[in-house]
Amino acid sequence: MYIYLTPPIPQELGEHLHSNGFMAFNVEDAALHEIYSEVMVNDHADTPLFGDDKFFSADFGRPLGLSKRSAHPAWDLGLEAIDGQGDEQDFSFYSQLERDLDHAYLQGHLMNNKEHGIRVEIHPLDSIAFAMDSAGKTLTARLGEPDWPKSFVKWRVAVFANSKLHRINEESCVQKERTTTWFLDLPSDANLPLMEVTLVEQRHELWDGHKKEK
């Protein structure tokens, strides 16, 4: 999942990393304009005697806003990825986040993948949050902009379980309990005097493809 950082975030991020000694090598700000995250959330993994390993995707179609090309789009797109290992594949067309979303909040460990030289990434991605309207369409506006909803905002917040296959799985920062608190924007009318705010939580049951495929 590619993440595009708009100014001045890349510059501020680069200055922070340099000042804390995490990037001793010379890095241009351009290297931080596009970072990425591997969404390694699997229901099943298979290591055959011959051929490539196979990783079967968990049910994270909602967190990535995947189109309803099937009942379980993340699983089915994962099967396509398995069949096309080694080929350049782009599934962004199927994601509402790619087509419609202006911004999202992400939380996870920021690291450089040295196996790829300079490749800054969020790995693993712990959680994601983005705003939608009452019809479930992703919002392009932000709080304070004219198109931001006045009376209703629906936030989709997803927390991803840790895969045991992360290369940094033994690091102490990954071993400790996650304690992320999201401070999400309310509808603009929520700040009016005497306005009552109602919060409703809707949890979604996950589909375990490995168990139900058998």
Query: What is the number of structural domains in the chain?
Result: 1
Give the whole-angstrom CA distance, residue 110 versus residue 136. Answer: 30
Angle, vertex CA 97, rays to CA 95 and CA 102, nearest 5? 155
The length of the chain in residues reads 214
Domain that holds residue 188: 37-213
Residue type, 192: L
pLDDT for 214:
45
Residues 56-87: tens digit of each pLDDT: 888 989 998 888 778 899 999 989 988 888 78
Token pair listed for 3: 């993440």
> Does any domain span residue 14?
no
> Does any domain span residue 28?
no
> Does any domain span residue 4?
no
Residues 129-153: tens digit of each pLDDT: 999 999 988 898 999 999 999 999 9
> Does any domain span residue 167?
yes
Q: How many helices (H) and strands (E) does the chain have?
A: 5, 7
- pTM for this entry: 0.84
